[in-house]
Amino acid sequence: MRAWPAAARARIAGVLTDIDDTLTTEGAVTPDVLRSLAALAQAGLHVIPITGRPVGWSEPFALAWPVDAIVAENGSVALARTAPGQLRKLYTQGEAERTANHARMQQVARRIVREIPGAAISRDSGGRETDIAIDHSEFTHLPQDAIDRVVALMRAEGMQATVSSIHVNGWYGGHNKLEGARWVVRELLGRELEDELDRWVYVGDSTNDVLMFEHFPHSVGVANIRRFEDQLAFKPRYVTDGERGAGFAEVAQAILQAR
């Protein structure tokens, strides 16, 4: 982080961030993170979490946190704040496509649980609309070879698949975290993210953030990214000293101090 130039930090106008093990610590958002989110918003920065968590799980946080929106399910659906206590739900797929994909994905989920010992559907799956998730580190533990088998099976079924710090997510469609970021900036702000990449920072913690680490000139991994270091095809440009929420607070402080 000390290598991140102050002049570059001073130009940051928006923060895109993962949630689990980036904003959260042991599953909770700590007071320092809430203060950081509030300080960024008060300074006029756009803050948009982009997560593999389901839209149903994300709704209370989209209402409570001082963020522009939460993009859930790896880029397919967004919850945008329209007024205090009010949210607007946006989808990248039409209703008929979502319905057909949902039925196909449930078949794949049942096959995974049937064929891979220890594989279990994530406990937050009741709130999912456009993907499936297999728990590997939240309430159960899957060894790496089983995680690899889950990913391979999803892809053999024609799905996209990615591994977060807690789940293996799979879905049908061309969306991902990067496309979700482009889409939500266009939908909410009426701007093209590609035209202002040097004014945004992405903060993440695991292998499902690799596309973002590759694409953003200002990319930051919180310190627990070291857990996945040998699996990262593209590493973040900067790494915090603190892990998880403390690392995110460090990023926010670095941006605000440079303004």
Distances in Å between the alpha carbon of 114 and those of 39, 119, 120, 121, 147? 47, 8, 9, 11, 14
Residue 117 has pLDDT above 90, yes or no: yes
pLDDT tens per residue across span 6-54: 999 999 999 999 999 999 999 999 999 999 999 999 999 999 999 999 9
Residue 191 has pLDDT above 90, yes or no: yes
What DSSP string runs through 89-142?
EEESS-HHHHHHHHHHHHHHHHHHHHHSTT-EE-TTGGG-SS-EEEESSSSS--
Counting residues of the chain whose pLDDT is more than 70, the rounded percentage is 100
pTM over 0.85: yes
pLDDT-based confidence at residue 83 (cuts at 50, 70, 90): confident
Rounded Cα–Cα distance for residues 33 and 245 (Å): 6
pLDDT-based confidence at residue 190 (cuts at 50, 70, 90): very high
Is residue 92 a contact partner of residue 180, using CB atoms and an 8 Å limit?
A: yes
pLDDT recorded at residue 159:
98
Task: Give the mean model confidence (pLDDT) for residues 109-125.
Answer: 98
Report the amino acid identity of residue 200: W
Rounded Cα–Cα distance for residues 122 and 89 (Å): 23
pLDDT recorded at residue 199:
98
Rounded Cα–Cα distance for residues 93 and 87 (Å): 19
The pLDDT mean for the chain works out to 97
The one-character DSSP state at 198 is G
Task: Give the mean model confidence (pLDDT) for residues 225-235.
Answer: 95
pLDDT recorded at residue 147:
98
pLDDT recorded at residue 156:
98
For the chain, counts of helices (H) and of strands (E):
8, 14
pLDDT tens per residue across span 165-178: 999 999 999 999 99
**Quick count: other Cβ atoms within 10 Å of Cβ 64?**
11
Domains of the chain and CATH, by start? 6-89+175-257 (3.40.50.1000), 95-171 (3.90.1070)
Task: Give the mean model confidence (pLDDT) for residues 45-70.
Answer: 97
Beta bridge pairs of residue 47: 15
pLDDT-based confidence at residue 196 (cuts at 50, 70, 90): very high
Task: Give the mean model confidence (pLDDT) for residues 203-232.
Answer: 96
Task: Give the mean model confidence (pLDDT) for residues 191-208.
Answer: 97
Residue 84 has pLDDT above 90, yes or no: no
